[in-house]
Amino acid sequence: MIDNNYFAILDDLTIKIRQARQKAAITVNTALLELYWEIGDTISRQQKQQGWGAKVIEKLAMDLKLKFPDFKGLSVRNLRYMKSFAEAWPKNPILQPPVAELQDIDSHNITFLQPPVAKLPWAHHIVLLNKTLEGGERLFYLQKAIENGWSKSVLARQIEGQLHLRQGKAITNFESTLPKPFSDHARETLKNPYLFDFLGIEEEMQEQDLEKH
């Protein structure tokens, strides 16, 4: 017979599974953003030092896709976003704790350890790169998206509505705030197509898995 203890165990295991999935997504997202920054920084430096032009970036995208055919994130357009990303944050803003440090802590504490830039999915960073020009504005919306757990569409609307002007001076430093558990952007991180692409997971498999959850 099923008693109340069973349902308590079910609830506990459900939470553990969700935390483990979020922990994995956070770790992969951080690695992806660090890679994108490194690629973007390399392109930016080569443009300044060697005069790389559009044709070289197009060739780089083509050659990288030949080596990693299942990695759709290596398009010319995305490489240009990576360059803009690195230039928007000139010093590498993503320093992931060693894997050994991550093994015995939950997803909440991993999020706390993350630098602010690593707390948002790549699609959010594309919105920030497209919508804002001033560094102070970008910092403001980055922090607000983290604090409130905004989806990328909400982030875009807040930028278009010029929230920073309604709330006064732009934020120039970061508080150690955490996204709300399973907030809109946390859910988007779990279902982030850039993460599946990075890991080489087929689109059909992604859709089937996400439908189940």
Predicted confidence at residue 189, as pLDDT, reads 62
The dihedral formed by the CA atoms of 118, 79, 193 and 121, expressed in degrees to the nearest 10: 20
Q: For residue 7, is it within any domain?
A: no
Let me know: does 197 contact 71? Beta carbons within 8 Å: yes
Angle, CA of 161, 167 and 171, to the nearest 5°:
105
d(CA 133, CA 123): 17
* pLDDT higher at 100 or 15: 15
* pLDDT higher at 212 or 81: 81
* Among the ranges given (51-55, 59-63, 107-111, 156-160), the one the predictor scored with the smallest mean pLDDT: 107-111
Name the amino acid, one letter, at 138: R
Q: For residue 1, is it within any domain?
A: no
Count of structural domains within the chain? 1
Structure token pair of residue 62 = 């083509």
Q: What's the mean pLDDT when you consider all of the chain?
A: 78
Q: For residue 135, is it within any domain?
A: yes
Predicted confidence at residue 196, as pLDDT, reads 67
**Banded pLDDT at 1 (limits 50, 70, 90):** low
Q: For residue 134, is it within any domain?
A: yes
Predicted confidence at residue 44, as pLDDT, reads 96
Q: For residue 13, is it within any domain?
A: no
**Banded pLDDT at 201 (limits 50, 70, 90):** low
Predicted confidence at residue 191, as pLDDT, reads 64
- The domain containing residue 135 runs over which residues? 19-212
Let me know: does 184 contact 148? Beta carbons within 8 Å: no
Q: What are phi and psi of 181, to 5 degrees?
A: -55, 130
Kindly state the average pLDDT of the residues 141-164. 91
Q: Where are the alpha helices (DSSP H) in the chain?
A: 4-50, 54-67, 76-88, 99-102, 107-113, 122-131, 135-148, 152-160, 163-166, 184-190, 193-199, 203-212
**Banded pLDDT at 136 (limits 50, 70, 90):** confident
Q: For residue 2, is it within any domain?
A: no
**Banded pLDDT at 205 (limits 50, 70, 90):** very low
d(CA 71, CA 199): 8
Kindly state the average pLDDT of the residues 40-55. 95
Q: For residue 9, is it within any domain?
A: no
Q: For residue 100, is it within any domain?
A: yes
